[in-house]
Amino acid sequence: MDRLKVLTGNSNRALAEKIVDNLHIPLTPVECSRFSDGEIFVKIGESIRGSDVFIIQSTNKPVNDNMMELLLLIDAAKRASAKSVTAVVPYYGYARQDRKVEPRVPISAKMVANLLESVSLDRLVTIDIHSNQIQGFFNIPVDNIYAAPIILNYVRELAIEDLVVVSPDAGGTHRARSFSAQLNAGLAIIDKRRPQANKSVVMNVIGDVDGKNCLIIDDLIDTGGTIINAASALRERGARDVYCVCTHPVFSDNALDRLIQAEFKKIIFTDTIPLKRESLPQTEQLEILSVADLLSEVIRRIHFGSSLEGIF
Ligand code: R5P
């Protein structure tokens, strides 16, 4: 393990600390500061020569600063003669812009992949990336780990009767179907349209939710519009309690307050993006699940060259 180094930027230090605790190694020190004009300065505080280096850094808000820190940390690690550099990006930002949906727009997810490869990254580990095909934007190995086992364990503990798992849009059908099968629950799909970015409209609900308890599952919640509109549509069609779960709590602006006011029985999310429990509204509706154990095991297996098969 002395050739295993884990370091982090400013995006999710709490998660990085849990990971190194699990691995029984110290966090490799990093200085991460700003020049007077706002440029980012990073310096790795000890030798990493010949080591497998894992950089834990989500690209959540402030997205561009966190992305730049990640790129600089990779560059610093490569130039410091690391044997390998793996970016562990629990939440991979810019992933929603993964295709051209109108003229004169970029494919940002591909451009970010190019940037990461341009600093000679060896491997990317991420969790529940917005669309699986983003893996193909890279020419290096990409391990997209699923948070599903963690979420499923928690939902099973809730022992919800008459459960229907709901996908809030057609794109999430595969995920919702897999959850419904593993929870022995029904399945419903919402026909959502996006007239413009960050605005969503429910057109239809496919499936029977009358008298059922519903669990809406999504990869991320940003403004909360998708999930809140989905919950209203389900209630209009006779749903009883509505739960929501996502892997990545992007929660822009006042999204979390709006979710709480929307009277979800539970709002479940993981710590791929840091939200301090103490600073959140004190309500039993909120449940934060940690991906630290999962990522620690992934890092351990990659370092020792073991298969990740059992983890997917
Ligand atoms: C869309 O495809 C995603 O899976 C999410 O449903 C979406 O990004 C959530 O955004 P918002 O919370 O702003 O509706």
The CATH architecture assigned to 148-290 reads 3-Layer(aba) Sandwich (3.40)
**Active-site residue flag, 192:** yes
For the chain, strand residue ranges (E) read 4-8, 30-34, 40-44, 52-56, 84-89, 123-127, 142-145, 163-167, 186-196, 199-206, 213-221, 242-249, 267-270, 286-289
d(CA 68, CA 228): 33
Q: Check whether the bond before 274 is cis (ω within 30° of 0).
A: no
CB of 10 within 8 A of CB of 66? yes
* pLDDT single digits (tens) 154-178: 999 999 999 999 999 988 999 999 9
Q: Which long-range contacts (CB under 8 A, 24 or more apart) does 107-115 make?
A: 109/134, 109/137, 110/134, 110/137, 112/59, 112/67, 113/137, 113/138, 115/67, 115/71
Q: Of 190-194, 205-209, 244-248, which range is least confident?
A: 190-194
- φ, ψ dihedrals at 173, nearest 5°: -60, -45
* pLDDT single digits (tens) 213-237: 999 999 999 999 999 999 999 999 9
C-alpha of residue 60 to centroid of ligand 1, in Å: 14
Confidence (pTM)? 0.95
Nearest residue (by CA) to ligand 1, atom 5, is 220
* pLDDT single digits (tens) 287-302: 999 999 999 999 999 9
Q: Is the CB of 249 under 6 A from ligand 1?
A: no
4-145+293-304: CATH number: 3.40.50.2020
CA 268 distance to own-chain centroid: 13
Helix (H) or strand (E) holding 29: none
CB of 179 within 8 A of CB of 152? yes
Cα distance between the two ends of the chain: 24
Structure tokens at 27: 């966090």
Q: Is the CB of 168 under 6 A from ligand 1?
A: yes
**What are the sequence ranges of the domains in the chain?**
4-145+293-304, 148-290
Catalytic residue of the set 5, 78, 110, 192? 192
